[in-house]
Amino acid sequence: MIADLRSDTVTKPTPGMLEAMMHARVGDDVFGEDPTVNELEEKCARLFGMDAAIFCPSGTMTNQIGINVLSNPYEEVICYKGSHIYKYEGGGVAGNSGLSFRLLEGDRGRINLDDILANVNADDIHLPVSSIVSLENTVNKGGGSYYTLSEIAEISEACMSRGIKMHLDGARLFNALAETGDKPGDYGKYFDTISICLSKGLGAPVGSVLLGKAEHIRKARRMRKVFGGGMRQAGYLAAAGIYALDHHVQRLTEDHQRARKIGKVLEDMHYVNNVLPVDTNILIFELAQGITTDAFLQQLDQKGVKAVAFGPREIRFVTHLDFDDGALDFTINVLSQLSF
């Protein structure tokens, strides 16, 4: 057996999802003629209470386009220092949109209003214009930590009233909603653009959706073409996304429970120094002094469990649709047999 905890992107389509993909009605989406893509975009916009949406190949692309349509070159994005848009998108925000970053420390990746306002630049020709605040929910680098809607409302109202645009990297937004019970429909009014991934916890093979105001999504269609993300009979992929939204949202709490169970087991292991709180489906832990991530991952891999390093001594596990109770038992058994 292999238990793959490297990421929630490793899932394969379920038989039901494949069935939905096989029967998708398709057309050329660059001409706006793919009925299934149109259906997915309308479904997502409605769900989050936003005007419009655009289907893209990846979450990196939806973030890059979202930030691009909200800004002009030479401006600045305020975000957590471990944000995906800063750390894991290859410098795209600088290259694609000509922006600089103002990076905040955050509490496991959650940035607060005081910190944000202290980093908004004054109107001074020496300083870049602070044009976007970007939040991540859940926060990958924060170990799946999340914001509640009331925390977001406070930040958004203060920023929007100052003319600052709000972007949300919601690659794992459904994981946050599963814990808070907040309604997606309440999210739309607090953001100019929201990026959601269908290919993470929701289990679709490919695809992300950028949601936003009508004017921003109109611009986003142009930028998607510029970035080479205009797809043709993409309805086959959109069908997987629709299926995922209909069938794989409710079950996300199962992933969270499994991650918590592993976290509990790790707390008692002598080779672990510290386990970050397990809020959703991401589990980050620090190895004890003297154990390298390479040595740890190698032994884990030899016993059939895959994971990734997430810092000089940190390891990340991510639970997902293809990690069931059998895989959980297998993993717990392996963790109790490691020799360090």
Ligand X SMILES: *Cc1c(COP(=O)(O)O)cnc(C)c1O
Residues that bind ligand X (CB under 6 A): 58-60, 63, 84, 136, 140, 169, 171, 197, 200, 208
CB 284, min distance to ligand X, A? 13
Strands (E) across 249-303 are located at 272-275, 282-287
Query: Measured at CB, which residue is nearest to ligand X?
Result: 59
Short-list 277, 285, 292, CA closest to 340: 292
For ligand X, the closer of residues 76 and 169 by Cβ is 169
Q: Three-class SS of residue 298? A: helix
- Which is nearer to ligand X, 205 or 332 (by Cβ)? 205
State the minimum distance, in angstroms, from the CB of residue 126 to ligand X.
Answer: 32
Nearer to ligand X, 10 or 269 (CB): 10
Length of the chain: 340
Question: Quick one: 197 or 237, whose CB is closer to ligand X?
Answer: 197
Report how far residue 238's alpha carbon sits from residue 207's, in angstroms, rounded to the nearest whole number.
Answer: 8
* Distance in Å, CB of 197 to ligand X, minimum: 5
Q: Given the complex with ligand X, which of 172 and 272 has the nearer CB atom?
A: 172
DSSP symbols for 176-221: HHHHH---GGGTGGG-SEEEEESSSTT--SS-EEEEE-HHHHHHHH
Alpha-carbon distance of 238 to 55, in angstroms, equals: 8
Spatial distance between the Cα atoms of 213 and 269, rounded to a whole number of angstroms? 49
Torsion of CA 107, 113, 119, 124, to 10 degrees: 170
Closest CA to 166 of 137, 128, 200, 202: 137
Residue with Cβ nearer ligand X (223 or 291): 223
Buried b (16+ CB within 10 A) or exposed e, 51-74: ebbbbbbbbbbbbbbbbbbbbeee
Which of 171, 272 has the CB closer to ligand X?
A: 171
Taking the CA atoms of 160, 185, 201 and 209 in sequence, report the sign of the dihedral they define. Answer: negative
Per-residue DSSP letter, 315 = E
**To the nearest whole angstrom, how small is the minimum distance from the Cβ of residue 316 to ligand X?**
11
Shortest reach from residue 220's CB to ligand X, in Å:
16
Residue closer to ligand X (CB basis): 85 or 272: 85
For residue 141, the minimal CB distance to ligand X (Å) is: 8
> Smallest distance, Å, CB 172 to ligand X?
6
Residue 288 phi, psi (nearest 5):
-65, 155
What's the CA gap between 121 and 166, in Å, rounded? 16
CB of 151 to ligand X, least distance (A): 17
Q: How far is the CB of 213 from ligand X (least distance, A)?
A: 21
* CB nearer ligand X, residue 62 or residue 131: 62
In whole angstroms, give the CA distance from residue 178 to residue 285: 23
